[in-house]
Structure 1
Amino acid sequence: MNFFIVDDDDAIRSMLREIIEDNNLGNVVGEAKNGISIKSSLLNSKNIHVLIIDLLMPIKDGLQIMSELSSSFKGKFIMISQVEDKEMIGKAYSLGVQYYITKPLNRIEVVEVIKRVISNIKLEKSINHIQDTINFLKTGTQNKIPESKTIAEYSASILSKLGIIGESGSNDLISMVKYIYSRENHIPSEKFFPPLKELFTHAAEEKLGEKSNVPIIKKEVRASQQRIRRAVMQALNYIASLGLTDYSNPKFEKYAAEYFDFTEVRKKMLELQKNTPSSTPIHINVKKFIKVLYLESKKYFEDNL
Structure 2
Amino acid sequence: MRIYIVEDDLSVINILEDIIETQGLGEICGDCGGEPANLSDVLRAKPDVVLVDFFMPVKDGVEFVKELRTVNTTIKCIMISQVSAKELISKAYSAGIDFFISKPINLIEVRSVLKNVEQQITNEHTLANIRRMFMNEIDHMPKGTKPESDDYGRKLKYILNRVGMSGEKGCPDIIKICEYLHENHIPVSNLSVSQMCEAVSDSPKNMEQRIRRTIAAGMSNIAHMGIEDFMNETYTLYSGTLFSFEDVKAEMDYLRGKRSSGGKVSIKKFIDGLMLEAER
TM-score by length of 2: 0.67
> Residue 173 of structure 2 contacts residue 207 of structure 2 at CA under 8 Å; is this kept in 1?
no
Counterpart position of 1:286:
265
| Residue 15 (structure 1) aligned with residue 15 (structure 2) | yes
State the shift of 1:191 in Å: 4.3
> Are 1:154 and 2:131 counterparts?
no
Q: Indicate the larger mover: 20-29 or 171-180.
A: 171-180
Distance (Å, rounded) in 1 between the aligned partners of 2:177 and 2:194: 13
Distance 1:23 1:258, change over 3 A: same
Q: Distance in 2 between matches of 1:22 and 1:198?
A: 50
Q: Deviations over 1:66-123 (max 9, x none)?
A: 1111131231111221101222222332333222222233322221221221111122
2:268 aligned partner, one-letter code: K
Rounded to whole Å, the distance in 2 between the matches of 1:179 and 1:8 is 53
SS in 2 for 1:8: coil
- TM-aligned CA distance change 1:46 to 1:133, over 3 Å: same
> What secondary structure, in the 3-state scheme, does the structure 2 residue paired with 1:71 have?
helix
Q: Distance in 1 between matches of 2:51 and 2:242?
A: 30
Task: Please tell me the residue identity of whatever aligns with 2:269.
Answer: V
* Paired residues, number: 271
Are 1:100 and 2:100 counterparts?
Answer: yes
- Whether 2:132 is the aligned partner of 1:132: answer yes
Q: Which runs of 5+ in 2 are unaligned?
A: 148-152
Q: In 1, distance between residues paired with 2:238 and 2:136?
A: 32
Is residue 82–residue 104 contact of structure 2 (8 Å, CA) maintained in 1? yes
What's 1:54 paired with? 53
Cα distance change of structure 1 residues 256 and 26 upon mapping to structure 2, 3 Å threshold:
closer
In 1, Cα distance between the equivalents of 2:225 and 2:121? 21
Q: In the alignment, does 2:178 pair up with 1:181?
A: yes
Cα drift, residue 8 of structure 1 = 2.0
Provide the residue aligned with 2:90 in structure 1.
90
Instruction: For residue 129 of structure 1, report the CA deviation from its aligned partner.
Output: 2.1
Q: Deviation of residue 196 (structure 1)?
A: 5.2
Quickly say closer, same or farther: Cα 1:293–1:265, change in 2 above 3 A.
closer
Deviations 1:185-224 (A, max 9, x none): 34434146875568899xxx9xxxxxxxxxxx99988996
Gaps of 5+ in 1: 159-166, 206-216, 243-249
Task: Give the percent of matched residue pairs that are identical in Structure 1 and Structure 2.
Answer: 25
SS at match of 2:50: strand
Measure, in 2, the Cα distance between the counterparts of 1:129 and 1:241.
22
- Hey, what's the Cα distance between the residues in 1 that align with 2:36 and 2:144? 50
Q: Distance in 2 between matches of 1:112 and 1:200?
A: 34
Runs of 4+ in 1 over 6 A off after TM superposition: 138-142, 198-201, 217-223, 232-242, 250-273
CA apart distance, 1:259: 7.7
Task: Verify the 8 A CA contact 2:96 2:227 in the aligned structure 1.
Answer: no
Q: Which secondary structure state, in structure 2, belongs to the residue aligned with residue 19 of structure 1?
A: helix
1:50 Cα deviation from its structure 2 partner: 0.8
